[in-house]
Amino acid sequence: MDKTIFYSLIALSVGGMAFLGAFAPANPNALSLPDPPANFVENDTNMLSTDSLALQLNSDEAEEAPIDAFEAAATYWSNMQHISNIYDIDPAKQYTVHEGVVGKNEFLSDILNGCNLSAAEISTVANNTKKIFAKNFKSEKPYIVLCDENQKAQCFIYEQTPTDYIVVDLRNGVNAYSCQKEVESRLLVGAAEIHGSLGGTMARTGLNPNLSISLAKAFAWSIDFFKIKDGDKFKAVYEQKYIAGKPIGTPELKAAYMQHKGEDFYAFSYYADDEDQKDYYDEKGKSVRKGFLKAPLKFTRISSRFSMNRFHPVLHRNKAHLGTDYAAPYGTPIMSVGDGVVLNAEYGRGNGNFVKIKHDGTYTTQYLHMSRFAKGVRRGVRVKQGQVIGYVGSTGLATGPHLCYRLWKNGTQVDPYRQKNITMMTKTVPHKEATAFKEYARQMQAVLDQTPYPIQQEDLNPEEFEEVALNK
């Protein structure tokens, strides 16, 4: 199979999993911890962050996606046989399973304090696991404790990510090690006509709501996801990870089609030989990335548009408003709409906390009234498109939480919503790979075009993929 069709999977965290309180009693299960399995990992694994472009979804989608994660988590932890399979634990001895989630400022010693261990034993565990938990023990992460008939802890299992976990075996001294769960990958195709929000449509049609995050990432530069209407359509070929038959993370999009306001858009994920990460290209091999994102944040509404004569709510007089105001809750992440260099990250009497970014010789953007700056954002720092640079607030001359977004073109402030096709140099597939990409895109587009509406979710057999794609 061509390497361009199947890529290395990137494990994405499903954050904020909510479970039962610490040490809620459960029925004893015949569980026993074996020696470290074959998938033993000596080095600590790194935490992975959720894709920032999830912020492009509307409020309905943002509320729906976590619900699916909570429900999946409840099923995950309620099925003790599932726990046995996940952790490769052989039925041999009766253990009571206690489950919980790490609290704020809680340490392993705090958790073990309620598991019939002496102070000396807890101290030994803490000292022997200090290195492995130095950077990995985080609040809101789930864990389970296996206890013997005396309710004394025998094993502690900590969920680092949906795929990675740490085992602390207390049966014979303290033996701590990292492991990875067995992950299954499936190539899937789905399609639907949108009614309501994108995430809501996916939930109603049986698709993974997190697929909306992947679509937002691919089409963020072409489609305003705040203006999606009933009757818009999408199709997607994507790779989904599963652990014990349950989907995890955000699907990795291979190819997608969206029809928005009667216009067709295609996006194909592709790794070029001289690139260290994938990018999305249209059917002609041009990057779908435009100069700027459609909006710098997830917002409730546009509260004030660009105007040369607006009544100022604080100064109580007519004054030019050379920006666009986005109403949003305190703390909403603000993203840079494009790559660039930070000119200013400071406080101004009227602007409050603001960031100003120079993108190229033509365009500069500014983000006002922030509650605070993102870590590391300061003058002279280079930022990437979609990178969080600060958080919504009401500093300066503001009556409530919002972002005032401003755009300069050749030194003159302009209305961002009147600038069409703000595009700097458009990247294309390298010339040496143009033929390979053209064939890859042709196959993927054939699959998308042949997929009818609606398809909740169907497996696309990798062994038959090319044959299916070529059979027009």
Q: Nearest Cα to 64, choosing from 189, 190, 199?
A: 199
Q: CA–CA separation, 393 vs 403, rounded Å?
A: 7
- The Cα diameter of the chain in Å comes to 78
Higher-confidence position of 385 and 342: 342
Beta strands in 273-421 (DSSP E): 279-281, 301-304, 307-311, 318-321, 324-327, 333-335, 340-348, 352-358, 363-373, 382-383, 388-392, 402-409, 412-414
- How is domain 184-289+427-470 classified at the CATH fold level? Nuclear Transport Factor 2; Chain: A, (3.10.450)
- How is domain 29-180 classified at the CATH fold level? Nuclear Transport Factor 2; Chain: A, (3.10.450)
Angle at 445 between CA 441 and CA 449, to 5 degrees: 175
Q: What would the two tokens of residue 291 be? A: 């100069």
| 3-state SS class at 432 | helix
Q: What pLDDT score was predicted for residue 268?
A: 95
Most confident range, picked from 72-81, 107-116, 309-318: 107-116
Q: What is the CATH number of domain 301-418?
A: 2.70.70.10
Determine phi and psi for 332, rounding to 5 degrees: -60, 130
Q: What pLDDT score was predicted for residue 15?
A: 32
Q: CA–CA separation, 410 vs 360, rounded Å?
A: 10
In the chain, where are the structural domains located? 29-180, 184-289+427-470, 301-418
pLDDT of 88 over the 60 cut: no
pLDDT of 338 over the 80 cut: yes
Tokens 């909006």 correspond to what residue?
A: 295
* CB-CB contact of 139 with 102 (8 Å): yes
pLDDT tens-place string over residues 114-164: 898 999 999 999 888 888 887 778 889 999 888 888 889 988 899 888 888
pLDDT of 47 over the 50 cut: no
* CB-CB contact of 182 with 38 (8 Å): no
pLDDT tens-place string over residues 340-365: 899 999 999 889 999 999 987 788 99
* CB-CB contact of 220 with 291 (8 Å): no
The mean pLDDT of 77-95, rounded to a whole number, is: 56
Q: Do domains 29-180 and 184-289+427-470 have the same CATH topology?
A: yes
pLDDT tens-place string over residues 293-328: 888 987 667 867 655 554 445 545 555 677 889 988
Angle at 44 between CA 40 and CA 49, to 5 degrees: 115
Q: CA–CA separation, 289 vs 426, rounded Å?
A: 7
Tokens 């709510």 correspond to what residue?
A: 313
Q: What would the two tokens of residue 318 be? A: 């007519």
The H-or-E segment that residue 90 falls in is: strand 90-101
Q: What pLDDT score was predicted for residue 313?
A: 53
Q: CA–CA separation, 259 vs 219, rounded Å?
A: 11
* CB-CB contact of 67 with 13 (8 Å): no
Angle at 54 between CA 321 and CA 210, to 5 degrees: 145
pLDDT of 393 over the 50 cut: yes
Mean model confidence pLDDT for the chain:
75
The region of weakest confidence among 38-42, 107-111, 354-358, 363-367 is: 38-42
Measured N-to-C along each axis, helices 59-78 and 211-219 cross at an angle, to the nearest 10 degrees, of: 140
pLDDT band at 275 (very low <50, low <70, confident <90, very high): low
Question: pTM above the 0.75 mark?
Answer: no
* CB-CB contact of 237 with 447 (8 Å): yes
